[in-house]
A and B are shown apart, each in its own frame.
Chain A
């Protein structure tokens, strides 16, 4: 049971933005720009950063949904998602993405944890300024979403199939504010 009176059975962030669409619309705009806007990092890579931070924060809803979106986007290379999230092995991704994930992991702990050497490693592996900027902002944004979703105890489904479907929808439709259910 969520801590506030949201629509029952509507999971995670959706229930919260339906409760307060005035703030929800900006949250969806931000995540749409960050994860779906034109970028030198692929959508799959950006979803992986989102899932990685959510996993480190222990936010099951955000982890499962963004991992599902990342699997869908990676297609035949979907195993990468489990390698990174579950096995914590980075051999299957580029050095650049590995160092960007390392920065994201530091941001998850605290902004102050990001050191010059973390940035230098990413730059040496070919990361651009905007890629570093966006990695930090995606990690910071999911540090917000994870706290919002868990801090209000929003409904977290435990059926894998639900997340697979959710991931597909996130890939096909992107992040659009959900419409109010008809009553």
Chain B
């Protein structure tokens, strides 16, 4: 049971974003720009950052949702599974590994990001903008994870919810659906 009254058909973050729509808007727009905006990091790579941070923060809803989104974008689930286990041994290039290591430190505390880690990312070809966006995505998911778990939002009843959510995140993105979310009500599904 969530700690505040949220719409029952909206598990995880969606119920919170519908609870206070005015604060939801900049959070949604920021996420849309960071994860879907023009960027030299692919959408899949940016979803991996979100996944690694959410997984490290032990946030089940966010981890499952962003894993599903990353898997869909990558067309396979091996990379995401491996990266959650161990960044260093995951099948990724050195730049991405270095960026994910920065993200993982940001997750613990910003002050843990060392000049050596930044140097490693730059030597592997990461630009200032990529480093900036990695840090901000990691920080943003520290917000999301705390928001979702701090108010004890519910998990979806069925795992298929995450697949539908991932489809929405890939095809539509992070902005509010123009028609809202009433179609997710159980007896009303289309």
Cα distance A151–B113 in the bound complex, in angstroms:
6
Interface residues as binary, A19-31 with B (CB distance below 8 Å gives 1, 0 otherwise): 1101100110110
CB-defined contacts of B136 to chain A, threshold 8 Å: 20, 23, 148
Residues of the A chain whose Cβ atoms lie less than 8 Å from the Cβ of B106: 147, 151
A16 to B110, CA, bound (A): 14
Option from B4, B110, B128, B147 in Cβ contact (under 8 Å) with A4: B128
Please list the residues of chain B having a beta carbon within 8 angstroms of any beta carbon in chain A: 3-5, 16, 19-20, 22-23, 25-27, 29-30, 33-34, 37, 57-59, 102, 105-107, 109-111, 113, 115, 118, 128-129, 131-133, 135-136, 138-140, 142-152
Give the residue among A16, A59, A114, A136 with the most B Cβ atoms within 10 A. A136
Encode A108-125 as 1/0 by CB contact (under 8 A) with B.
001110101001000000
Q: Counting CB contacts under 8 A, is A95 at the interface? A: no
A interface residue numbers (CB < 8 A to B): 3-5, 16, 19-20, 22-23, 26-27, 29-30, 33-34, 37, 57-59, 103, 106-107, 110-112, 114, 116, 119, 129-130, 132-134, 136-137, 139-141, 143-153
Q: Are the CB atoms of A23 and B23 closer together than 8 Å?
A: no
Alpha-carbon distance A174/B30, docked complex (angstroms): 20
**A140 neighbours in B (Cβ, 8 Å):** 142-144, 146-147, 150
Q: Are A20 and B146 in contact (CB under 8 A)?
A: no
What number of residue pairs across chains A and B have CB atoms under 8 A from each other? 148
Q: Which residues of A contact B107 (CB under 8 A)?
A: 147
Q: Can you give 5 contacting A-B residue pairs, CB < 8 Å?
A: A20-B133, A137-B20, A144-B140, A146-B109, A151-B113
B139 with A147: CB separation less than 8 A: yes
Closest B residue by C-beta to A118: B3
Q: Check B151 against A136 for contact (C-beta < 8 Å).
A: yes
Contact A30 B151 (CB under 8 A): no
Given A16-B132, A57-B109, A137-B23, answer yes or no on A148-B149 (Cβ-Cβ < 8 Å): no
- A153→B135 CA distance, assembly (Å): 11
Of A4, A37, A134, A143, the residue contacting B146 (CB under 8 A) is A143
User: For B150, what are the chain A residues with a Cβ–Cβ distance below 8 Å?
Assistant: 103, 106-107, 111, 114, 136, 139-140
